[in-house]
Structure 1
Amino acid sequence: MMDEKLEAMRSATGGLALRLIGVMTLAILPLALISFYQTAQVMKESDNLSETVLLDRTERAASRERELIQSALGAAKALAETEIVMAEDANLCNGVLQSLVKGDNSYSMAGYLTASGRVACASAMNDETLRIGRDMFSKIQQSNGDAEFWSNTSSGPQAALSLAVPVGPVAERQGYVWISIPYALANTLLQNNTSDVDLVIFDATGAPLAADFTEEELFAFLPQGRSLNDFVQPQRQLYTGLNQQGEKRQFAVVPIMEDQAFVMGSWEPEDVAPFPLMGRVMALYFPLLMWGVGILVAYFGTHRLVIRHIQRLRVWMRLYAAGRSEVSSARLDNAPEELEAVAQAFRDMAQRLSNQERQRAEDLTEKTILLKEVHHRVKNNLQLICSIMNMQVRNARSDEAKRLLRRVQERVMALAAVHRYLYTARKLSMVRADLLLEDIISQMVVVGGMDSAKSRVKISTNFAPIEITPEQSVPLSLMVTEAVTNAIKYCGARQDGAGWISLVLSDLGQDEVCFSIVNSKGEPLNASAADEPSLGRSLIQSFASQLQGRIEVEDLPERYGIHVTFGIMFDNEEDDEEAA
């Protein structure tokens, strides 16, 4: 489980796709930075050019109005230079002013005001436009400029755009030349220029002088939170914001008379790009889009040319590791030459390993057959020896000779049982101890070691299914044979006249096994045999030592038991395989 997590982490952090993204990022990053910088510069220049264009368009839209005002201002200044004529001869002054108005229909009235505000002469002395308010005249007197502009938007002939030019220096002010332009003409010149811009002309105090819309629409024209006075500045300005109606507009302010009159144009912002994602955002983020497209193309191209073939190779390897070694017919789908060479190398390696594995399996089968044949021949030879010894037992005259021959015969049959089991077993590396011991006990009964006492001794077995190595099976078989023989030899009867022997093979866990044999004590069932000297105890200790086991003797008044505990000694090859 831990290995799978580590492999998943390595795959997540070091996969080809992530590394490809990193390499592409490093490759495109300098280009992206250069592109961002150049795009920003181009956009900055574009903004500057756009501002210049809007300002020029505003200035062009008010060009006719500016020419009219400049013409009136020039005429007023020219008249102001003839101050002697206006001061000395009123008739001459009236004639000059009448000639000016009749000669240029752009003017509705021309007059000369004295320093006290009296009309000394005019183009028409009975004209209603000669009236001027006291506040307006005070404003004219306080002006320090070359001219003063004001507008009268009332209906009728009084509606006019007027300007006053002082006559004489400030300290010796003699009067003012006053020229009026029809308000309708001033508005008409603004309206006829262009249809996509709203224009308003205002003076240095922020007071509107002329507009291409009505006075009621002036409030909706202005930007939110700002007045015309905020735009009275000598330089040209561009402002983008909402008007009083909440509409987004562009406002361009251009001075048409230096520090005296200004024109403001209101434009609807132009959408340069035909689609929302094209334009400034598209220009700024085009490198990012290029990076994303490059990543996608590189990823799918790499997946098509490399990753899918590597994944198929990994599937082949897993199938081969799972035991399906037939990969010679596996082919990659239109793979590059390099990956096809890797696949061919894997197929060749798998084929060689399969051939070696097949040869190894055949050799192992042959060796197993030969080894079983050896066990079979040894078993037959031991059985032949047992048969010869059985013939010797029948021909022996003394009981002592018969018993000695039978003891030897039992030991030989125990060895034969081991070889018989190995001959018939499917697995030669391990031996089922329970089956082996059951076979030995049954043979001892058949051969005669226990047949004479069978009716007097009750034998019980309880063998757990435990596997031991063949090296341990021989000393265990011989030890059990000697232990059973000694148990029969020294078994005693209880009060009811019956004896018992219990054989137990138990699994203690952690590869430890305990063999126990317990017999009853009492009146000896075979008194003559019990008095004979015994070799069995020495042999039991010797066989237990070969098993590297511990012997525990249990000697109680009613029973006698031997408990041998030993560990299963696995082969070194199996230990190496388990460790791997």
Structure 2
Amino acid sequence: MSESKLEAMRSATGGLALRLIGVMTLAILPLALISFYQTAQVMEESDNLSETVLLDRTERAASRERELIQQAIGAAKALAETEIVMVEDANLCNGVLKSLVEGDNTYTMAGYITASGRVACASDTSDEILRIGRDLFSKIQQSDPNADFWSNTSAGPKAALSLAVPVGSSSARQGYVWISIPYALANIMLQSEGNKVDLVIFDATGALLAADFTEEELVSFLPQGRSLSDFVQPNRQLYNGPNQNGENRQFAVVPIMEDQAFVMGSWEPEQIAPFPLMGRVMALYFPLLMWGIGILVAYFGTHRLVIRHIQRLRVWMRLYAAGRSEVGSARLDNAPEELEAVAQAFREMAQRLSEQERQRAEDLTEKTTLLKEVHHRVKNNLQLICSIMNMQVRNTRSDEAKRLLRRVQERVMALAAVHRYLYTARKLSMVRADLLLEDIISQMVVVGGIDRLDSRVKISTNFANVEITPEQSVPLSLLATEAITNAVKYCGGHQGQTGWISLVLADLGNDEVCFSIVNSKSDIDATQIRDEPSLGHGLIKSFASQLQGRFEVEDLDERYGIHVTFDIMYDDEEESQAA
């Protein structure tokens, strides 16, 4: 996997932004859990408060209705206690009841019903009053005979809420006194400006007594699948559920008259929710919204204050690593004091490193110049020695002395070739072995060790592009010189053919090099001559040992070869650069 992909993966999994989100999540998680819990508690308390408020408002809204009913029942009980209902004079009874109705506009009619169901007297003797009395008696017969009072509603021109109380004990029931309240008045008393509660008053049988809306609207008002008679209970009740239209509402039922009359109030729970604008669902998701906003604010704040400055510092470092030194004058844009201190430290470090690099380059240039000057002078001195030896060769009459001087001159020229290469090379840490060997061969031709008329041979070379250290170049040059000289000395043509010498420098890989010199053999057996110990043969082995190489000899009928295999020995600095 490439370095860029690895860096992208590290950036995706370990970036500051993702880690910040993780840390912020862990930091906000307890607050979010607390917020969820508190929100649930608030909503539960809100529901409880809503129910309590609904009960209170329902009871307060029906207080005037309760007073009106209690007043009517009280008046009826007062009449029941008088002897007026016992007298046989119907005209007197009618007059008293008529005076009651005319003296109080709260009532529309009043009457007395005997135990047999006959309307004995009334404030009005119209057929409508007689019908209302008969309907009321029928309702009494269908209800609990031991009740303290009974109620019934009537429609028509004189729509009213009629309330009846018994006359006499339950064992000797004489009749019933009833008083009627205008239905419109009963409904108006349930209506109050600003009251958001819908109210309905009903009796123990579930019959509607009064409401602050029309009777047609009662169908949609009632809870779904339930009737008013289902809520006839002695205690206060709370109910949450949909109405007939499917709307979710809260219902409260409060008894107002000794388990004989009840008031039901209803409203929508959302009307008093703690979050009227956002709604109850938003209240639950508010902690998540808080977490998201916190993450965004933290991320953009961190990006503004930290991440963008760190990214800019990274760009500076990459530019400096690429060799661009203008980062010394770069500045961060309104960075925090801590990051500005880091940027200043980087600029100072870059300036110091640039100065050190410049000083190092100057020192290296000076060192290289001095080394080349040393190699140049050594090469000149060696060439001077060769010139002196050449003069000595010309003045010497002995052939053996000339031959020995030539051999020494070839060795000195080999050393001079190394120093001449190092003087002209651009890189002093490594030496091109192929170029060095070609230079040595050309020098030996110039000196005359190879190109003599009586030992003229065909020389072929095959040198690979191999670099060795300067320490290895000296023994390799001297080894090549001795080996070539010996090859020329013992080279000969087989069956009249021209002699040949083959020089090969092969790169075996893994920093391993093989230098081979193979020459042809003449028909004359030179085995004993080769087996005789000689200075050249000893020097070749010595130079091979200095190269820490393997020295192998190939001796066949038609050719003779020397093979030296060695490893390139890098110094510590070269090895670190290669790594």
Same fold, judged at TM 0.5 (above) = yes
Distance 1:267 1:175, change over 3 A: same
Asked if structure 1 preserves the Cα contact closer than 8 Å seen for 2:47 and 2:269, the reply is: no
Query: Once the two structures are superposed, what CA deviation does each residue of 1:20-64 show, in whole Å capped at 9, x if it has no partner?
Result: 667767777777777777766666665555444444444454444
Aligned-pair CA distance for 1:74 = 1.8
Question: Do structure 1's residue 562 and structure 2's residue 565 form an aligned pair?
Answer: no
Question: Do structure 1's residue 181 and structure 2's residue 181 form an aligned pair?
Answer: yes
For 2:454 and 2:135, how far apart are their aligned partners in 1?
156
Distance 1:530 1:35, change over 3 A: closer
AA aligned opposite 2:440: I
Aligned-pair CA distance for 1:517 = 1.9
Aligned-pair CA distance for 1:397 = 2.3
Aligned-pair CA distance for 1:417 = 0.9
Distance 1:133 1:146, change over 3 A: closer
Aligned-pair CA distance for 1:533 = 6.4
Look up the SS of the partner of 2:514 in the other structure. Answer: strand
Question: Do structure 1's residue 375 and structure 2's residue 375 form an aligned pair?
Answer: yes
1:148 matched to which residue of 2? 150
1:138 matched to which residue of 2? 141
Asked if structure 2 preserves the Cα contact closer than 8 Å seen for 1:524 and 1:530, the reply is: no
Asked if structure 2 preserves the Cα contact closer than 8 Å seen for 1:382 and 1:416, the reply is: yes
Distance 1:168 1:514, change over 3 A: farther
Aligned-pair CA distance for 1:571 = 0.4
Aligned-pair CA distance for 1:489 = 2.2
Asked if structure 2 preserves the Cα contact closer than 8 Å seen for 1:492 and 1:525, the reply is: no
1:232 matched to which residue of 2? 232
Look up the SS of the partner of 1:328 in the other structure. Answer: helix
1:516 matched to which residue of 2? 516
Aligned-pair CA distance for 1:511 = 0.9
AA aligned opposite 1:150: N
For 1:194 and 1:528, how far apart are their aligned partners in 2?
137
Distance 1:25 1:383, change over 3 A: same
Distance 1:60 1:530, change over 3 A: closer
Asked if structure 1 preserves the Cα contact closer than 8 Å seen for 2:152 and 2:163, the reply is: yes
Aligned-pair CA distance for 1:175 = 3.5
Asked if structure 1 preserves the Cα contact closer than 8 Å seen for 2:136 and 2:152, the reply is: no
For 2:190 and 2:272, how far apart are their aligned partners in 1?
26
Aligned-pair CA distance for 1:462 = 1.0
Query: Once the two structures are superposed, what CA deviation does each residue of 1:546-574 show, in whole Å capped at 9, x if it has no partner?
Result: 11111232233332222221111000222
For 1:214 and 1:338, how far apart are their aligned partners in 2?
76
Asked if structure 1 preserves the Cα contact closer than 8 Å seen for 2:413 and 2:443, the reply is: yes
Distance 1:257 1:455, change over 3 A: farther
For 2:346 and 2:462, how far apart are their aligned partners in 1?
54
Aligned-pair CA distance for 1:329 = 1.9
1:329 matched to which residue of 2? 329
Pairing 1:27-106 to 2, within 5 Å after superposition: 47-82=47-82, 86-87=85-86, 89=88, 91=90, 93-106=93-106
Pairing 1:119-130 to 2, within 5 Å after superposition: 119-124=119-124, 127-130=130-133
Asked if structure 2 preserves the Cα contact closer than 8 Å seen for 1:65 and 1:186, the reply is: yes
2:261 matched to which residue of 1? 261
Query: Once the two structures are superposed, what CA deviation does each residue of 1:107-127 show, in whole Å capped at 9, x if it has no partner?
Result: 444333444444444444553
Query: Once the two structures are superposed, what CA deviation does each residue of 1:291-331 show, in whole Å capped at 9, x if it has no partner?
Result: 65555555444444444333333333333333223433222
Distance 1:537 1:171, change over 3 A: farther
Q: Which runs of 5 or more residues in structure 1 are unaligned? A: none
Asked if structure 2 preserves the Cα contact closer than 8 Å seen for 1:493 and 1:524, the reply is: no
Look up the SS of the partner of 1:71 in the other structure. Answer: helix
Aligned-pair CA distance for 1:98 = 3.8
Aligned-pair CA distance for 1:222 = 1.9
For 2:503 and 2:446, how far apart are their aligned partners in 1?
18
Distance 1:205 1:545, change over 3 A: farther
Which range moves more in the overlay, 31-40 or 119-128? 31-40
For 1:536 and 1:289, how far apart are their aligned partners in 2?
93
1:359 matched to which residue of 2? 359
Asked if structure 2 preserves the Cα contact closer than 8 Å seen for 1:376 and 1:420, the reply is: yes
Query: Once the two structures are superposed, what CA deviation does each residue of 1:479-531 show, in whole Å capped at 9, x if it has no partner?
Result: 11222222222223234612222211111111111112222234259999989
For 1:486 and 1:218, how far apart are their aligned partners in 2?
132
1:448 matched to which residue of 2? 448
Question: Do structure 1's residue 406 and structure 2's residue 410 form an aligned pair?
Answer: no
Pairing 1:156-171 to 2, within 5 Å after superposition: 156-157=157-158, 159-171=159-171
Query: Once the two structures are superposed, what CA deviation does each residue of 1:159-180 show, in whole Å capped at 9, x if it has no partner?
Result: 4433332334444444433333
Distance 1:271 1:556, change over 3 A: farther
Asked if structure 1 preserves the Cα contact closer than 8 Å seen for 2:117 and 2:134, the reply is: no
Aligned-pair CA distance for 1:412 = 1.4
Look up the SS of the partner of 1:492 in the other structure. Answer: coil
For 1:476 and 1:276, how far apart are their aligned partners in 2?
97
For 1:26 and 1:101, how far apart are their aligned partners in 2?
77
AA aligned opposite 1:375: H
Asked if structure 1 preserves the Cα contact closer than 8 Å seen for 2:57 and 2:197, the reply is: no
Look up the SS of the partner of 1:370 in the other structure. Answer: helix
Asked if structure 2 preserves the Cα contact closer than 8 Å seen for 1:272 and 1:279, the reply is: no
Asked if structure 2 preserves the Cα contact closer than 8 Å seen for 1:515 and 1:563, the reply is: yes
Look up the SS of the partner of 2:111 in the other structure. Answer: strand
Count of aligned positions: 575
AA aligned opposite 2:261: A
Asked if structure 2 preserves the Cα contact closer than 8 Å seen for 1:109 and 1:181, the reply is: yes
Query: Percentage identity across aligned positions?
Result: 80
Look up the SS of the partner of 2:497 in the other structure. Answer: coil
For 1:318 and 1:389, how far apart are their aligned partners in 2?
60
2:319 matched to which residue of 1? 319
AA aligned opposite 1:131: R
Which range moves more in the overlay, 267-276 or 168-177? 267-276
For 2:152 and 2:519, how far apart are their aligned partners in 1?
141
Distance 1:194 1:74, change over 3 A: farther
Which range moves more in the overlay, 519-528 or 313-322? 519-528
1:488 matched to which residue of 2? 488
Aligned-pair CA distance for 1:17 = 5.0
For 1:180 and 1:458, how far apart are their aligned partners in 2?
151
Distance 1:559 1:166, change over 3 A: farther
For 2:513 and 2:276, how far apart are their aligned partners in 1?
84
Query: Once the two structures are superposed, what CA deviation does each residue of 1:339-397 show, in whole Å capped at 9, x if it has no partner?
Result: 43433333333222222222222111111111111111111111112222222222332
AA aligned opposite 1:86: V
TM-score by length of 2: 0.85
Q: Which runs of 5 or more residues in structure 2 are unaligned? A: none
AA aligned opposite 1:418: V
For 2:535 and 2:185, how far apart are their aligned partners in 1?
149
1:535 matched to which residue of 2? 535
Look up the SS of the partner of 2:402 in the other structure. Answer: helix
Distance 1:128 1:282, change over 3 A: closer
Pairing 1:286-297 to 2, within 5 Å after superposition: 293=293, 296-297=296-297
AA aligned opposite 1:389: M
Asked if structure 2 preserves the Cα contact closer than 8 Å seen for 1:550 and 1:566, the reply is: yes
For 1:193 and 1:65, how far apart are their aligned partners in 2?
16
AA aligned opposite 1:377: R
Look up the SS of the partner of 1:327 in the other structure. Answer: helix
Asked if structure 1 preserves the Cα contact closer than 8 Å seen for 2:270 and 2:276, the reply is: no
Distance 1:7 1:81, change over 3 A: farther
Asked if structure 1 preserves the Cα contact closer than 8 Å seen for 2:516 and 2:564, the reply is: yes
Asked if structure 2 preserves the Cα contact closer than 8 Å seen for 1:109 and 1:129, the reply is: no
Which range moves more in the overlay, 372-381 or 443-452? 443-452
